Amino acid sequence: MAKRDFYEILGVAKTASDDDIKKAYRKLAMKYHPDRNQGEAAKAAEEKFKEAKEAYEMLSDPQKRAAYDQYGHAGVDPNMRGGPGGGDFGGGFGDAFGDIFGDIFGGGARGGARGGRQVYKGSDLSYAMDITLEEAANGKDAQIRIPSWDDCDTCHGSGAKPGTSAKTCPTCNGNGVVQMRQGFFSVQQTCPHCHGSGKIIPEPCTSCHGQGKIKKQKTLEIKIPAGIDDGMRIRSSGNGEPGRNGGPAGDLFIEIRVRKHDIFERDGDDLHCQVPVSITTAALGGEIHVPTLTGKAAIDIPEGTQTGKQFRLRGRGIKGVRSSYPGDLYCHIVVETPVKLTEPQRELLRQLEASFQQNGHQHSPNDKGWFEKAKAFFS
């Protein structure tokens, strides 16, 4: 019987990526798994399972896939030709199936070769750093103290008590992994005895308790970029916890927390602040000075300015880490009502109010409109 096209078996195009091929095989492997097909359907499912496995073994190997694309089944059948497809299919069923189900069932292990000792990346660490708004805007160089793991001085990193040594794990014979088999179904997993190291330590070092490393503290230089915002993180590669079995160290993430400012509130690259103005300045107009992150700036207050009036100072905000230009500073006017008046001052205000009454509502631009709306509301 002529063999079916491998791409047709997996249901992918000839231009499919390695990831697409892997996903297609995983879907078929789960569908036709022996545990999911019993009775009369079991035999047909088993054949489809084997068919999908063979297709994946060929197309997941770059050399075999190239030979198949050029010569078809003859390019990968050792009984029909030599060359790129000749010889062993590579790794066998357990290896081809192990990677797929390793992804399904999880696990952060990595191996230098299939069936070899598993290595694990170390865990990431996080560090919260409080900075001021000025430091966030201008950037800064900082020093932080973080945990570090150095080789144990007693056992020199071996984890074994001085005078003793680690032994090869009898469960996995030093491979760090064991095979779980059920019929033709095989899954590779980390050895439960040595936890993937391939070795056991009969007499652990009393200083490091068999870990081979001692936790200490170290000082790390950190550069805070100008324009960083609250909640952003800085990644310091390799400064997390050490990996296991020779795996790479994790990373350190510095989370920035910008303290609340007495004057400014940040909104993206813009800054906002409330500016108190005396009633006389608001009524008569004049020039006032407002603070910015780079010094003072002058604002001309027009005659008759009301509370809530907004003035925009271009370029006086913050230049974000991903911005080409700095934001703006928005000054929100708050007209202050005078307090703790003396009796002469009270009399002057009474006289001023009397003069306002003589001219109706012309001195209060919002007064007339508000009373008309209130009258309509109650009527």
Note the pLDDT tens digit of each residue in 10-31.
Answer: 998 888 888 888 888 888 888 8
Q: What is the pLDDT of residue 210?
A: 83
* 269 vs 190: which has the higher pLDDT: 269
Same domain, 147 and 241: yes
CA gap 288, 274 in Å, rounded: 13
Please check whether residue 117 lies inside any domain of the structure: no
Q: What is the pLDDT of residue 135?
A: 95
The overall average pLDDT reported for the chain is 81
Domain that holds residue 313: 261-339
Q: What is the pLDDT of residue 88?
A: 37
Three-state DSSP class for residue 323: coil
Task: Give alpha helix (H) positions in the chain.
Answer: 6-10, 18-31, 41-59, 62-71, 92-105, 133-138, 279-284, 343-358, 367-378
Same domain, 287 and 305: yes
Burial of 317: CB neighbours in 10 Å, binned 0-12, 13-18, 19+: buried
Confidence check: pLDDT of 205 > 80: yes
Please check whether residue 118 lies inside any domain of the structure: no
Q: How confident is the model at residue 327 (pLDDT cuts 50, 70, 90)?
A: very high
Residue in 91, 270, 70 with CA at minimum distance from that of residue 186: 91
Same domain, 81 and 195: no
Please check whether residue 113 lies inside any domain of the structure: no
* Identity of the residue numbered 222: I
Of the three residues 232, 258, 284, the one that is the final residue of a domain is 258
CA gap 5, 17 in Å, rounded: 17
Please check whether residue 170 lies inside any domain of the structure: yes
Note the pLDDT tens digit of each residue in 217-250: 889 999 999 999 999 999 999 898 888 777 888 9
As for how many domains the chain has, the answer is 4
Q: What is the DSSP letter of 127?
A: E
Q: What is the pLDDT of residue 176?
A: 80
Please check whether residue 114 lies inside any domain of the structure: no
CA gap 76, 83 in Å, rounded: 9
State if pTM tops 0.85: no
Q: What is the pLDDT of residue 179?
A: 77
Of the three residues 237, 258, 279, the one that is the final residue of a domain is 258
Same domain, 237 and 159: yes
Same domain, 22 and 98: yes
Percent of the chain with pLDDT over 70: 81
Same domain, 251 and 138: yes
CA gap 306, 173 in Å, rounded: 84
What CATH code is carried by the domain that includes residue 324? 2.60.260.20
* 338 vs 82: which has the higher pLDDT: 338
DSSP codes, 224-267: E-TT--TT-EEEETT-SSPPBTTPPP--EEEEEEEPPPSS-EEE
Q: What is the DSSP letter of 39?
A: T
CB contact at 8 A, 159 and 208: yes
Same domain, 253 and 217: yes
Same domain, 135 and 239: yes
- Point out the least confidently predicted range of 71-85, 170-184, 270-284, 333-347: 71-85
Please check whether residue 175 lies inside any domain of the structure: yes
CA gap 316, 264 in Å, rounded: 12
* 303 vs 39: which has the higher pLDDT: 303
CB neighbour list of residue 12: distance below 8 Å, 6 or more residues apart:
20, 21, 24
Q: How confident is the model at residue 195 (pLDDT cuts 50, 70, 90)?
A: confident
Confidence check: pLDDT of 93 > 70: no
Please check whether residue 116 lies inside any domain of the structure: no
Same domain, 170 and 221: yes
Relative to beta strand 295-301, strand 310-313 is unpaired
Same domain, 335 and 365: no
Of the three residues 225, 258, 291, the one that is the final residue of a domain is 258
Q: How confident is the model at residue 341 (pLDDT cuts 50, 70, 90)?
A: very high
Q: What is the pLDDT of residue 134?
A: 96
In the chain, DSSP finds a helix count (H) and a strand count (E) of 9, 17
Same domain, 136 and 246: yes
Q: What is the pLDDT of residue 117?
A: 60
Same domain, 173 and 60: no
What CATH code is carried by the domain that includes residue 157? 2.10.230.10
- Point out the least confidently predicted range of 88-92, 120-124, 181-185: 88-92
Q: How confident is the model at residue 102 (pLDDT cuts 50, 70, 90)?
A: very low
Confidence check: pLDDT of 32 > 70: yes
Q: Which two tokens stand for residue 186?
A: 């095989």
Highest mean pLDDT out of 34-43, 117-126, 147-156, 316-325: 316-325
Confidence check: pLDDT of 101 > 90: no
Please check whether residue 200 lies inside any domain of the structure: yes
Confidence check: pLDDT of 136 > 90: yes
